[in-house]
Amino acid sequence: MSTIPHLNTLRSGRRGPRLRGRRGPPHAGSEDAGRFDEEDVEIGKDRIIQQTDQDASSSRMSAVSLGYLDDPFAKTLFPAGEQVPKRYPIINRGTYVRTKAIDKLVIRFLETNPNEQKQIISLGAGSDTRFFRLCAGKYKVRYHELDFESNVVPKRAAIRASEELSRMTLPSDNGSTYHLHAIDLRDLTNKSPPVLPGMSTEIPTLILSECCLCYLPPDTASSVIQYFTMNIPGSIAMILYEPIRPFDSFGKTMVSNLGSRGIELRTLKRYYSLDAQRQRLRLSGFKEGQGARDVYQLWESDEWTSKDERERIEKLEWLDEIEEWKLLASHYCVAWGWRGEPFEQAWKEVEGGRTPDEQRDDEVG
């Protein structure tokens, strides 16, 4: 579908290989104002990806303000003075389902052998509040958040400005620590990658990627995962939240629309279905088990969203766009994979295997 208004065509044009770290002479045609240096294009693109956190933060704030989510920390981490954004009901519902599904997996992990020291590494965490909501003061967790410096700086400032958050991020007696790392994830794929201060390689570790690795080239995304699976030889698990199904007409339009905003979902075609995501996790070393559900399934399944919760959410806003909700929600998924304990115990009963519906994905893929 090429009928979408292209608002940002300059930034979404074809790009060559990344030139990061190989800064060459300026582009031969750089006097020509109409042409962009490829490096500028890359920097511009990074900025757009960094800004996707503002979108996520706004959506979280919208969902919280309408009562979908109970998150007292969202406001503290939301830019002061900015108006609370209003999102469409389907976006609010999606934000709710995604947050709750990931929370469920994280909580099951934390609740299994609760006295054991654990580690969570959140990639591209941005303004995420999960540490404050689920972990601080409750569990023995080393919590790491990794993001671009431009996203880490305001978060650090917001934490410092809040007495409550500052207190929560102090190391506690039980061994819990909170680490905010300003890092470009691609640096983890260097030949001699940096060491993450405070990262343990010996305790059960959960890696989170909520709409983060999908912006990297597929091989880079794999290398980032490998950085962790190689450095942590023992128990390790991963939760991904990503778009899927780029090949049907909704998917194609999604790719084109986001492309016009300069957002390229680079891993989408490779990990195009629930099964492709399970496979990916298996091949990435999370051999013991894998699961995947699209957001629509997570919403409809009683195991994932209780009947009471569904009824509560349905009453919050009139959601007229039922067909659109199905479309949108079936194009995002939560996928998880693991090896070792306590993950096996925590997750083996969680519903995430292949369903008959997935046959259709194989046909279009």
Partner 1 sequence: MSDLDKAIAQLRACRPIPEIQVRELCYKARELLIEEGNVVSVDAPVTICGDIHGQFHDLMELFRVGGDVPDTNYLFMGDFVDRGFYSLESFLLLLCLKVRYPDRITLIRGNHESRQITTVYGFYDECLRKYGSANVWRYCCDVFDYLALGALVMGAGHDLAPIDAPFADPSQSNTDADDVEIELLNSQGQILSRFPRNRGGTQDTSQLSNTPSSPSQTKEQTPSRNGAPGTGATSTSGGSANNSGGAVLCVHGGLSPLIDSIDKIRLLDRKQEVPHEGAMCDLLWSDPDEIDGWGLSPRGAGFLFGADIVDCFNRKNDLSLICRAHQLVMEGFKEMFSSTIVTVWSAPNYCYRCGNVAAILELSEDGANAGYAPRSNGDMNRSNGVQSEKEDKRPGPGRRYRVFDAAPQDSRGMPAKKPVADYFL
* C-alpha torsion 171→172→176→177, nearest 10: -10
10 Å Cβ neighbour count for 184?
14
Coil, helix or strand at residue 22:
coil
CA pseudo-torsion sign 181, 134, 142, 240: negative
Burial code of 269-290, b = ≥16 C-beta within 10 A, e = fewer? eebbbbbbbbbbbeebbbebbb
Q: What are phi and psi of 337, to 5 degrees?
A: -150, 160
Instruction: Return residues touching partner 1 (CB under 8 A).
Output: 1-7, 52, 55-56, 58-59, 85, 87-89, 91, 94-95, 98, 211, 243, 248-254, 257-258, 263, 296, 314-315, 317-324, 326-328, 330, 332, 357, 364
Distance CA 348, CA 365 (A): 28
Between 95 and 176, name the residue whose CB sits nearer to partner 1.
95
Distance CA 343, CA 149 (A): 31
